Structure 1
C-alpha cells in the first residue's frame, strides 16, 4: 500500500467499535479521502436496481438525497456488474454521475479519475465505494490488490451496518401472538437525516408494530400521507390493502356511502350494492386524510365503528363486522376544533391514542438539500438530462427560504426551475440558478448566507482549495463555538444547520473526535 497502513487498521478497528452506522460510514470516507488524496468519495447501498448514497465526502449535500437508477447511470451500472475493481479511463465517454457535484470544484465540471469498488457480502452486491479526482493519474500508484483490500474492509463496514439494521427491525416487528404475520418492509422511504426525522422514524416504527389508531399532525405539504404509508408498510397488515380517503373532498351527500357503503335501492341512484372504504380496508388499513373536515354527523357514526368494530351500510339493518386499522391525518388543531364545537371530543380522544407530529420543512436544516437532491435526480430522469445540479448560491437560498408550502412546494419549485434551466442551457450541464426559482419574491444576499462577523480568512492556504475550504470551516465553527460557550446546539442554530449534521461535519474535518 502506498500510504500508511494505519488508515486500514483504523477501518478494521471501527468494525468492532460501538458507534452508530452513520459515524462508521463517515469515518470510512474520511479515511478513504486521506488514503487516496481524492477530491470526493461516496458510500452507496445497492437496493432495487438503485444506488442510494449512505455517506458522502467532498460532494454537494444534495447528493445524499439522490437515488441513482443504474439503468440511467452507465458508470454505476458498470460497477454493479463488474464484481471487481473498476477503473474508468480519464477520457472515458461514459458520463460521471458526480460531474458538477464536487464541492471544491464547482466551476470545474469533468471528473478525470474515477475508481469504483463493488461491495459484496455472501457473493451478493450490497453497495459500492466510489473515489473521484480531478487529477487523471491520482490512483495510478494503487494496485488492484490494494484496492481489493479496501473494498473488502468497506464491504464489511456496510454489511455489519445492514445486519444491525435488519436485526433491530426484526426485534421491533416480531410479536408473541403471530410473528409469521409480519412482512418485509417495503421500499417506502422518508428522506432526511435531521433529528426531527430520526425521531419521526422511531415513532413510525413503534406505532407500526401495534394496531393502535394513529393521528398524524402537521402543516399542509409536510408528507403526512407518506408517514401513513410507512406505518402501514411496516405493520403486520402490510400484505393487506391500504385504502385512502380524503375527507375534505367528500361531498356531504355521498360521504356516508363512501365510508360505510350502501345496498341497492337505498336512495336514488343506488342501482347496486356497494362496499364502503371500511369494508375495502378490512384486515388492512384505512387512511382518513383531512379528518377535521368530517361533519359532526359522520363523526358520530365513525366513532361507533371505532368503538365496536361494526357498521351498517345505508339501507341495511344488518351489522357488518370489520377489522380495520385507522390512521387519520389533519393540518388543523383538533383541540381548538373541539373547543369550538366543530369536532367531537370523544372522537378526538379515540383518534389521538398515538399522535405523531411531522415537522415543517423550515425546521429540518440540511434535509432541505437532501430532498432537493431527491427531486432533482427524479426530475433529471423525467426530462432526460445528462446532468442537473444546484449552484452553491441556489443551495444557500433554498436553505434560508421558509417554505410555507413545505415539501410539496419544494418539489414543484424544483420541477419548474429545471424546465426553465433546460431551456436556457448551452450544453449538457443544466445548473439551477436563483433566477430559475420563483419563491414569492424571496431573495437573500450570498454574503448574508456565508459571512460571519468574526470570521477571518487570513493565513488560509490557497494552493489547495479542498484544504482551504476545510480550514475555513474549522475557523468558522470554532469562532461560533466560542461565541456560544461551546454549546453545539446554539452553534448549529447560529450557523443555520442541523446539530447532527454539524457534529458530523466537525468529525469529518477533524475538529472533534
Structure 2
C-alpha cells in the first residue's frame, strides 16, 4: 500500500472512533450514516449502503447514492445471489462487470440517467452478536474498483468491523441497563417490522419497545388502514412472550350466538352442533398474546363476559364445570373513539380501563408523509417477487404525486394503489427487465390537482406538501448561489455548503438544478 492509502485508512479509523453512540433505538442507524460518510473518503463509488438483518433477509439502514424508495426494501437472500454470496463469504467479495447475477440495486442508483443495471459491485459482511451488517459498494463504471488492492480492502473491512463491534457493544449495554436485565428479548421477525422514520413513527416505535418489555394490556387506536394489526404483532414479537402463541380474533365478525364459544371454548354436547370439544381463543393463547381486533364492535353482553375473564384470569368453556386459569396478555385495537362510545353507553368504562393500561396511537399516512418513499420501496420489493420480475421501480414524478395525495385509506390504500400500478406497468412493459411505474399507471389526483373546495378541510396535508416544496426550493437556491460565488467550481461550492462533492452533484441533479441555464 502507498502512503495515500494508509492515510485514508487512518482517517477512517479516527472518524469512526470519534462517533458518539446515541442512547436510543436509532443509534445503529446513526452510526451507519457516519460509516457511509467515512467510507466515501476511502472508496469512490456511485452508491454505498449499509444493510442489517440475518441469514434470511436484509434491509437498508443507511445509504448514499440510492433512490429514496430503496430504503424501505427488504431483500430476501435466497432471491438476491450477490447479497447471499457476501453473507456466505469471509472478507471482501467482488463481482465481475459481466456477472450474470442481478444486482439488488439495478435501476435504483441516482447517478444513472436511465434505469440501467449496475456494472461494478463489491461488499463485505460484519458479523455481530445479534445480527449481520453488510456494506456494499456499487458503480456504473465496470472498472471502478479494480485499482484497490486486496490488502487495502481487507484492512478497510477489518477497521470497520472493529469499530462497529465497539458501537454494537455500547448499544447492547445501554439497552440492558435501560431494561434492568441482562437478557435481551427474543429477536423480532423482520417481516413484521414497522416501516417508517418520520417523527410520529419514531415515537410509536419507542412506545412499542417500551410497553413490549412489560406485561401490560395494550389498546391500539388508529384509523382504518393504518396498520394496527402490524403494531400488535410487533408488541408480541418484542416481548418475553415472543416464542409463545399469538392468537387473533376479529370482534366485528363475532355474533353473540357463538362468541362465548369462540372466546372460551365449549365441550362436546354443550349445544346443538357441538360434536367435539373445542378450545377457545383464550386457552389457545395461554402463555402468549391474544389480539382482539375491532374490540369496539363487541356487544355489551360480550363486553361483560370479556371483562370477567380479564379481571379473574379464569375462563370456563361453554357446558363445562371446570374453571381454568390462563396467563394471557391482551392487546386490543379499534378505530372507534371508545371514550365517546362510553358516553353514548355503547362501551363499558370498566372494560375500557382494563384494556387501556397502555394506549398506543397509530398515525395516519397524512401524519407521516415523509415515510411514503420508504413504504413505496417496501411494497415494490414485495411486488418484485409477486410479479416475478427482475426489478420494479418508480419514477420521481410519480413518487411526488403520491406525496401530494390525501390517502384517506392510509397505508392500505397506498399498498393497493402501488400493486395495481405495478401490474399495469408490467403488462405495458412486458419485455423489460426493469419495470418502471409512471404517473399514467396511478390514476389518483394530487392535492394540487384538486379543487380548493375539496382540500379546504385538509390543512395538515397542504402544510406538509408546501413545506417539502419550500425546503427543496431553498436547497436549490443555496446550490445556485454557492456555485455562482465559487465560479462554477463544484469542490469549492461543496466546501462552502459543508457537503461531500459527490453528494452535492447528486443533490443538484435530483433537484433539477440547471446550471447552464442559470449562468450561461
- Give the TM-score normalised by the residue count of structure 2: 0.82
The alpha-carbon deviation at position 4 of structure 1 amounts to 7.9
* 3-state secondary structure, aligned to 1:54: strand
- Counterpart of 1:131 in structure 2 is 137
- Counterpart of 1:144 in structure 2 is 150
Distance (Å, rounded) in 1 between the aligned partners of 2:151 and 2:212: 46
* 3-state secondary structure, aligned to 1:111: coil
- Counterpart of 2:59 in structure 1 is 52
The reply on whether 1:467 has 2:504 as its aligned counterpart is: yes
1:192 to 193, 196, 206: 196
Pairwise mapping of residues 33-44 of structure 1 onto structure 2 (< 5 A)?
A: 33-44=40-51
* 3-state secondary structure, aligned to 1:115: strand
1:107 to 106, 114, 119: 114
Aligned residue pair count: 470
- Counterpart of 2:162 in structure 1 is 156
Bigger shift: 267-276 or 204-213? 267-276
- Counterpart of 1:66 in structure 2 is 73
The alpha-carbon deviation at position 472 of structure 1 amounts to 7.5
Is the contact between residue 104 and residue 465 of structure 1 (CA under 8 Å) also seen in structure 2?
no
The reply on whether 1:370 has 2:363 as its aligned counterpart is: no
Bigger shift: 304-313 or 315-324? 315-324
Is the contact between residue 241 and residue 287 of structure 2 (CA under 8 Å) also seen in structure 1?
yes
Distance (Å, rounded) in 1 between the aligned partners of 2:91 and 2:404: 43
Is the contact between residue 21 and residue 171 of structure 2 (CA under 8 Å) also seen in structure 1?
no
Once the two structures are superposed, residues 97-129 of structure 1 have per-residue CA deviations (whole angstroms, 9 ceiling, x without a partner) of 21211123242513232222333459x993321
Bigger shift: 467-476 or 347-356? 467-476
* 3-state secondary structure, aligned to 2:108: coil
Is the contact between residue 12 and residue 39 of structure 2 (CA under 8 Å) also seen in structure 1?
no
- Counterpart of 2:460 in structure 1 is none
Once the two structures are superposed, residues 127-185 of structure 1 have per-residue CA deviations (whole angstroms, 9 ceiling, x without a partner) of 3211122233332322121111221222234434444444444445566xxx8896444
Distance (Å, rounded) in 2 between the aligned partners of 1:380 and 1:208: 33
2:259 to 230, 255, 280: 255
The alpha-carbon deviation at position 214 of structure 1 amounts to 0.6
The alpha-carbon deviation at position 282 of structure 1 amounts to 1.8
- Counterpart of 1:12 in structure 2 is 14
The alpha-carbon deviation at position 285 of structure 1 amounts to 1.4
Is the contact between residue 126 and residue 159 of structure 1 (CA under 8 Å) also seen in structure 2?
no
* 3-state secondary structure, aligned to 1:132: strand
Distance (Å, rounded) in 1 between the aligned partners of 2:507 and 2:221: 40
Is the contact between residue 12 and residue 153 of structure 1 (CA under 8 Å) also seen in structure 2?
no
Evaluate the alpha carbon distance shift between residue 465 and residue 146 of structure 1 in structure 2; reply closer, same or farther with a 3 A threshold. Answer: closer
Is the contact between residue 91 and residue 157 of structure 2 (CA under 8 Å) also seen in structure 1?
no
- The gaps in structure 2 that reach 5 residues or longer are 23-27, 450-464, 491-500, 514-520
Give me the CA root mean square deviation: 3.1
The alpha-carbon deviation at position 387 of structure 1 amounts to 1.4
Once the two structures are superposed, residues 245-292 of structure 1 have per-residue CA deviations (whole angstroms, 9 ceiling, x without a partner) of 100111221112111222333322223332211122222211100000
Bigger shift: 292-301 or 254-263? 254-263
- Counterpart of 2:458 in structure 1 is none
The reply on whether 1:209 has 2:216 as its aligned counterpart is: no
Bigger shift: 84-93 or 207-216? 84-93
- Counterpart of 1:272 in structure 2 is 276
Pairwise mapping of residues 60-459 of structure 1 onto structure 2 (< 5 A)?
A: 60-107=67-114, 109-120=116-127, 126-171=132-177, 183-187=186-190, 188-425=192-429, 426-439=431-444, 441-442=445-446, 456=477, 458=480
Evaluate the alpha carbon distance shift between residue 435 and residue 475 of structure 1 in structure 2; reply closer, same or farther with a 3 A threshold. Answer: closer
